A = this chain, B = another copy of it.
């Protein structure tokens, strides 16, 4: 423990300034006059400390530091600060594959578990907050489908050789503590009695109990958990909910990949789509004062539909572009006719679609009956109204998890969501 913490000290707004002054990779972004720096801690996330640093000349960056525990729980729930290392690796790799949608990393200090990165300036806000406020982002589906298609395709065996793949898989096995946290809070705790689970009680008591007693659901979850633990399909973000995306009308930026590792692609796609579905079901709780949110709900559903369809198109385009590259999975000498290529791609995308629906559903369930809830619902003050929204989301998730294989496209999923919403 002593060795692991060598060279580490937790910074605060004051000591951070000294750190910046002695770190050229950071201070070089701020011009001459470092004395007028403003430093503000803004970490609203669950795990880490985030500081916005702005200099008088307008230069700026963000500093994110991981402490050896989970911020929102406290020192009692320890968590390796090495997560910052994997976050920096993922930001850099995903950033080089998709620079338009990932903040640039300026500096990484491993002993300090400290990342210096591009400040995503106002009006950037966290997407989840925009969704709660009812703001439409016309480019969201376009941007997120690009981000997911590029980061997932280029880190998979559709593009990579086996040599590159196994080297990277081995490296990211080091992020095991974060994987273990996901295993626990996504795939285990919602399905058993544990103290830190919570839900809108007493309204959802029976619903939470039903989740714990649903054998079909638990068998499906076991399959998804195995896939999460065992299947090194691509370098996934690992925490791609709507709180890990910052947006303006024309910019979409993905932050916070500290859970990154080689896992199933469907986990990222599902996280994003599942959180959009949660946002959809929460809207009735935010309706009022002359805004029934009906047209906004339509926009969310359209965004879900477009995100998947655009993702699919872009992913297949990348595959076609690189089909004679180093990718080990589908060698051109074997999958050697247009007809066979189309069949292979259809099968691949169909499996991936079912994975995404399954993982998305699991992520929805855990936000309703597990430890960590989402502001989309938490911001609904009336508990009974909130419970009604949550119950519909939960029923939708249970259906998707158990019946996902009957869906062959996103349209019927949208129809099914609408139907549940009307109950």
**Once the chains are docked, how many angstroms separate the CA of A218 from the CA of B170?**
29
Write the A319-337 contact mask toward B (1 if CB under 8 angstroms, else 0).
0000000001111011110
Instruction: State whether A329 touches B226 (Cβ < 8 A).
Output: yes
**A375 contacts partner chain B, Cβ-Cβ < 8 Å:** no
* Size bin of chain A's contact surface: 35 or more
**Once the chains are docked, how many angstroms separate the CA of A26 from the CA of B194?**
54
**A210 contacts partner chain B, Cβ-Cβ < 8 Å:** no
Known contacts A335-B218, A339-B215: A166-B173 contact under CB 8 Å: yes
Tell which of B174, B179, B339 touches A162, judged by Cβ atoms closer than 8 Å. Answer: B179
Q: Which of A327-362 contact B (CB under 8 A)?
A: 328-331, 333-336, 339-340, 343-344, 347
**A292 contacts partner chain B, Cβ-Cβ < 8 Å:** no
Complex copy number for this chain? 2
**Once the chains are docked, how many angstroms separate the CA of A194 from the CA of B333?**
9
**A219 contacts partner chain B, Cβ-Cβ < 8 Å:** yes
Q: How far is the CB of A161 from chain B (nearest CB, A)?
A: 8
Q: Which residue on B lies nearest to A181, using beta carbons?
A: B162
Q: How far is the CB of A35 from chain B (nearest CB, A)?
A: 46
**A251 contacts partner chain B, Cβ-Cβ < 8 Å:** no
**Once the chains are docked, how many angstroms separate the CA of A343 from the CA of B170?**
33
Known contacts A163-B180, A330-B222: A157-B229 contact under CB 8 Å: yes
Instruction: State whether A344 touches B222 (Cβ < 8 A).
Output: yes
Instruction: State whether B331 touches A229 (Cβ < 8 A).
Output: no
**A232 contacts partner chain B, Cβ-Cβ < 8 Å:** yes
Tell which of B167, B192, B223, B230 touches A173, judged by Cβ atoms closer than 8 Å. Answer: B167
Which residues from B are CB-within-8-Å of A330? 222
- A sample of 4 more A-B contacts (CB under 8 A), given A162-B180, A167-B176, A230-B231, is A157-B226, A169-B169, A173-B173, A222-B344
Taking beta carbons and an 8 Å cutoff, which residues of A are in contact with B? 157, 162-163, 165-167, 169-171, 173-174, 176, 179-180, 183, 188, 191-194, 215, 218-219, 222-223, 225-226, 229-233, 328-331, 333-336, 339-340, 343-344, 347
